[in-house]
Amino acid sequence: MIPQAMEAFLRERLPERTWQTRLTHDNGRAYLEFSPLDVEQLGRLGIGVDSLGPQLVVCLWDEKAAIEIGGYLVVDNLAMGRPSMGGIRMLPTITPAVVHNLARGMTLKNAAAQLPFGGGKAGIVAGRDLDADAHTEVVRGFARLLRKYREIYIPGPDVGTNDADMKTVAIENGLDSAVSKPSDMGGNRIDQLGAAGGGTIIALEALLEEMPRLRQLPMFSALEIPPASDVAVLIEGFGAVGAHAARTLRQRWPQARVVGISDEQGYLFDPAGLPVDELFGLWRQHGLVTRRFGQKLLEGPSASLKVSTAPDDLLRESAFCLIPAAPVANYLDTDAASGPAMTVDRMGRWSVIVEGANTYSPDPARRRSRARMERAVYRERGILIATDYLVNSGGVIFAAQERILKTPPDLRIPEAMLGDRQRVQEWLDEHRGAFEALAERRRLADEAARDAVIRRNMHELVEALAADDDLLPCQAAERISVRRMASRESDRTAADVLEPMPLIAASSTIEAAARHLVECGCPILAVVDDRQSLVGVVTEWDFMRATADKIPSTTPLETIMTRKVISAEPSDTLLEVLRKLELNQISAMPVVEGGQVNGMVSSDLLARGSLVRMLQSQRSEQ
């Protein structure tokens, strides 16, 4: 059944006509799909359409399930490649707008990592207090809902889901339909290996080498880079990202100190350094550590330890580096009205912020708030901010190797077994050695790729900021990702983006063609002869002209169609396609090969993805 909170949300925002005309069913599974042309409906859901996306928004639920199973899928952008990739978040308050924000973050993150995958995200509307069996059943049901979209979306874990849940998805939909699977499926276990948290420490290491170049900027003229033994780190959110960041710092950089951590129950701070190994072990056992371990430490001899039940107050403490790793996008703001974890006027003294948590949002108000915060923190206080998707991409880099280093054909689960958990597990057990060897090869490839990608991102970030006094870190980061998407986009062709084009026989009447145009909702029809070869096109304008000229509706269509057709070839680049559309002042044209219509390209598709325009402007500037 549809989750009650989800139904209430959708009923409040979508008119009854939308339910009647858009709701589709497939064996008890219900889908409400919206494209970027559905600006009004998406706006009602809190999603704004911009130059990057979204490409697809789906509200989906299982009407036959005995328990509530439903949520949202957003495929934001496929410029870097298909499918899109991003985690499944499970929260009772998840909304389409939240999923879209996260999907946009994945668009930029995958681009920053130069991964051949678009950005997507999914959200399950469910509480985190479900018992283990109910949790697994919800994930299994949601996986079945997602199967329809497995060519354009591959999930991984996120808040509320884990590597074991990705195994459940893979059992239902196939090994290549989920990433961050356990090692018995050849997976890279993002949560277990701490891929994202480890990436933040690699970023910090790289920044210590890169930051001296910022001294040429006035706000960094007095910048001091401490030796490793004096590097102190605060970690807001000692969870899947934060705990692994602390562990990785300890392993890679034992001289550095984690001086403060927080979780839902409070925070710990000790300028002499906290016992990371003990805290990590405790987190593995119990999840939350500050209250339990704080009491233990207070009983000991540490006179410098501070224990608080107010987790946000960790951001009042000072250290060389802050790593925000709690699932709170708005960790800092100049305005208390936005409900930040801390306001800028009360925050501690730091030299660099490495964002472990996802903070990006395409929402205009959030973007303005972010820029306001960065002006106060970066420009006025001289604190470098390493934007989330440039530094916490370790997880998606690890996950991507499960698709880049492909599963051998002999290790693919037989299609007939999918959905049968016991049979699949028996089959996995038979191939355990081969899967574990595959997992190890992927892990080694991941670590090398993560290190190279994040170091390059830090180099480009500092380089961009040092070259432009007025640039904010959020702007520099976005340029890095968009530049990579634009570069990738310029290599794509009409064949990569064509959409289905409706055909109609030249012998049809004007009335029949007009009816077909309305039914298909397309701006243009391809007119073909009896051999299905293209002989013309007809648009709304042609029908309006026919009406104005009082041409009878029973007249053959070939009398009003445009015979001299502007078309694209499948091998035309997107830049060439865009130029043809603009030069001829048309909104759409067929993609033709050997006289046959393969599909169509439209200005809606290309103008919405203004990556091509960005690439043009970048080339003109060079």
Percent of the chain with pLDDT over 70: 95
In this prediction, residue 297 carries a pLDDT of 64
**Strand 232-236 relative to strand 153-157: parallel, antiparallel, unpaired?**
unpaired
**Residue in 104, 606, 15 with CA at minimum distance from that of residue 329:** 104
Place of tokens 């959110």: 237
- Please answer whether residues 57 and 74 qualify as being in contact, where contact means their C-beta atoms are separated by less than 8 angstroms: yes
User: Taking 60 as the threshold, does the pLDDT of residue 608 lie above it?
Assistant: no
CA angle 249, 473, 259 (to 5 degrees): 25
- Please answer whether residues 197 and 245 qualify as being in contact, where contact means their C-beta atoms are separated by less than 8 angstroms: yes
Q: Which are the contacts of 333, defined by CB distance < 8 A and separation ≥ 6?
A: 340, 343, 344, 369, 372, 373
What are the residues facing 213 on neighbouring strands? none
In angstroms, the CA 474 to CA 366 distance is: 12
- Please answer whether residues 375 and 333 qualify as being in contact, where contact means their C-beta atoms are separated by less than 8 angstroms: no
Q: Count CB-CB contacts under 10 A for residue 427.
A: 14
In angstroms, the CA 115 to CA 335 distance is: 36
Alpha helices in 417-505 (DSSP H): 421-430, 432-467, 473-490, 494-497
pLDDT band at 30 (very low <50, low <70, confident <90, very high): very high
Joined tokens for residue 342: 């801390």
Percent of the chain with pLDDT over 90: 62
Q: Which are the contacts of 127, defined by CB distance < 8 A and separation ≥ 6?
A: 92
Joined tokens for residue 406: 């492909």
In angstroms, the CA 496 to CA 135 distance is: 38
Place of tokens 């480890």: 198
CA angle 448, 481, 463 (to 5 degrees): 80
pLDDT higher at 323 or 306: 323
User: Taking 60 as the threshold, does the pLDDT of residue 618 lie above it?
Assistant: no
Write the single-letter amino acid at 556: P
What are the residues facing 68 on neighbouring strands? none
Joined tokens for residue 337: 């009205």
In angstroms, the CA 236 to CA 234 distance is: 6
In angstroms, the CA 433 to CA 414 distance is: 18
pLDDT in tens, 38-55: 999 999 999 999 878 899
CA angle 170, 174, 176 (to 5 degrees): 90
* Residue 287 to residues 136, 265, 292, 303, Cα–Cα distance (Å): 20, 11, 10, 26
Q: Kindly report the average pLDDT of the chain as a whole number.
A: 89
Write the single-letter amino acid at 268: L
Element (H, E) at 26: strand 23-26
pLDDT higher at 187 or 143: 143
pLDDT higher at 498 or 416: 416
User: Taking 80 as the threshold, does the pLDDT of residue 614 lie above it?
Assistant: no
Q: Name the region of 339 (left: φ>0; alpha: ψ -120 to 50; beta: rest).
A: left
In this prediction, residue 277 carries a pLDDT of 93
- Please answer whether residues 378 and 385 qualify as being in contact, where contact means their C-beta atoms are separated by less than 8 angstroms: yes
pLDDT band at 303 (very low <50, low <70, confident <90, very high): low
In this prediction, residue 152 carries a pLDDT of 93
Q: Name the region of 33 (left: φ>0; alpha: ψ -120 to 50; beta: rest).
A: beta
> Omega into 54 within 30° of 0, i.e. cis?
yes
pLDDT in tens, 71-110: 999 999 988 888 999 999 999 999 999 999 999 999 999 9
pTM of the model: 0.75
Alpha helices in 468-555 (DSSP H): 473-490, 494-497, 510-520, 540-548
In angstroms, the CA 330 to CA 317 distance is: 18
User: Taking 70 as the threshold, does the pLDDT of residue 515 lie above it?
Assistant: yes
In this prediction, residue 287 carries a pLDDT of 87
User: Taking 70 as the threshold, does the pLDDT of residue 167 lie above it?
Assistant: yes
pLDDT in tens, 182-191: 888 888 777 7
- Please answer whether residues 345 and 264 qualify as being in contact, where contact means their C-beta atoms are separated by less than 8 angstroms: no
In this prediction, residue 616 carries a pLDDT of 45
In this prediction, residue 606 carries a pLDDT of 55
pLDDT in tens, 203-249: 999 999 999 999 999 999 999 999 877 899 999 999 989 999 999 99
- Please answer whether residues 97 and 85 qualify as being in contact, where contact means their C-beta atoms are separated by less than 8 angstroms: no
Joined tokens for residue 219: 């706000």
Q: Count CB-CB contacts under 10 A for residue 502.
A: 16
Which SS3 state, helix, strand or coil, does residue 257 take?
Answer: strand
Mean pLDDT of 300-328: 89
